[in-house]
Amino acid sequence: MNTTSLDVVAASLCRIMGIEAPAKAAAPSPAMLEYADTVFEGAAADRVLMYNPDAIGQWIFEKYPTLFKEAVARTELQLPLRSPMPSVTPVCFASMYSGLQPEEHGIQKYEKPTLQAETVFDTAIRAGKKVAIVAYHTCTISKIFRERDMEYFTYGTLEEVHAKVAELIINDTYDLIVVHAWNYDSVMHKFGPESVEALSEARVNSEAYALLDALVQTYWTKHNVFMGFAMDHGCHEIGGDCGSHGLDMPEDLNIVHLYKAYKKKIGG
């Protein structure tokens, strides 16, 4: 079982952006801070893009490396993490962006209330950052982080989500963009984690991330950029050739985040 909890991400992102962490958030990841400090030479990131593919466990990532070759090729820091329990989407994303364990942030089962705990989004807004979430109409990320002074772009297809993120990168007006890619999780539940249908969706996520990375390198050259391919939890196979998650087992809890930073170019 991985030893570092997913809750380190919140304070890490905030430190990397040069803003305060959410109240009572877990300490940041030394590996994330050291990497960002090295690339940015002690400066802060002024653009952050978090691409969150749902339910891709570390065991899938390691068993099928060719599916993730595009994302891995755009990675300089691989960070093994452990999801909180229960390992379901609302619980995990609440921990990722608040820095708190479930009993602290208040979401302890599969439900989608508006999270009351302070998050990365709150501290970024307070610091004057422009923040956007791009996701499916009814998915977790589009629901639990509501009632904040930021933009919520929600759509019915992943293609629309990817197109909107591309547009936001090109227009270059948001400091923090968080994207939820729910497609692998949705298909995995129906056909199983290792089905052709589900694995094809994992490849879609990797290829989409590569495209967004290319846009970042073209349109965000005047910024210090920190970006991540950052899962929430894993999954396992159940009877009937279906998939599930939520249990206290390595397949559900062990994940690996992929991070890359770009130092701004002189003259941008």
Task: Enter the pTM of the model.
Answer: 0.97
Q: What's the mean pLDDT when you consider all of the chain? A: 97
DSSP, res 66 = G
Position 240 scores a pLDDT of 86
Domains located in the chain, CATH noted? 8-262 (3.40.720.10)
Instruction: Of 50, 56, 39, 70, give the one whose Cα is nearest residue 9.
Output: 50
Instruction: Of 266, 227, 167, 178, give the one whose Cα is nearest residue 46.
Output: 227
Position 266 scores a pLDDT of 76
Position 267 scores a pLDDT of 66
In the chain, DSSP finds a helix count (H) and a strand count (E) of 12, 9
Tokens coding 29: 């990841």
User: Please, what's the largest Cα pairwise distance for the chain?
Assistant: 57
Residue 9 has pLDDT above 60, yes or no: yes
How far apart CA 105 and CA 98 sit, in angstroms, is: 7
Residue 48 has pLDDT above 70, yes or no: yes
How far apart CA 108 and CA 113 sit, in angstroms, is: 11
CA-to-CA separations, 157 to 56, 78, 137, 153, 215, in angstroms, rounded:
19, 29, 9, 12, 21
How far apart CA 239 and CA 235 sit, in angstroms, is: 13
Position 34 scores a pLDDT of 98
pLDDT (tens digit, 9 = 90+) per residue, 52-107? Answer: 999 999 999 999 999 999 999 999 999 999 999 999 999 999 999 999 999 999 99
Contact 141, 119 (CB under 8 A): no
**What is the pLDDT confidence band of residue 116, given thresholds at 50, 70 and 90?**
very high
How far apart CA 211 and CA 120 sit, in angstroms, is: 25
Ramachandran angles phi, psi of 192, nearest 5°: 105, 150
Position 8 scores a pLDDT of 98
Contact 147, 129 (CB under 8 A): no
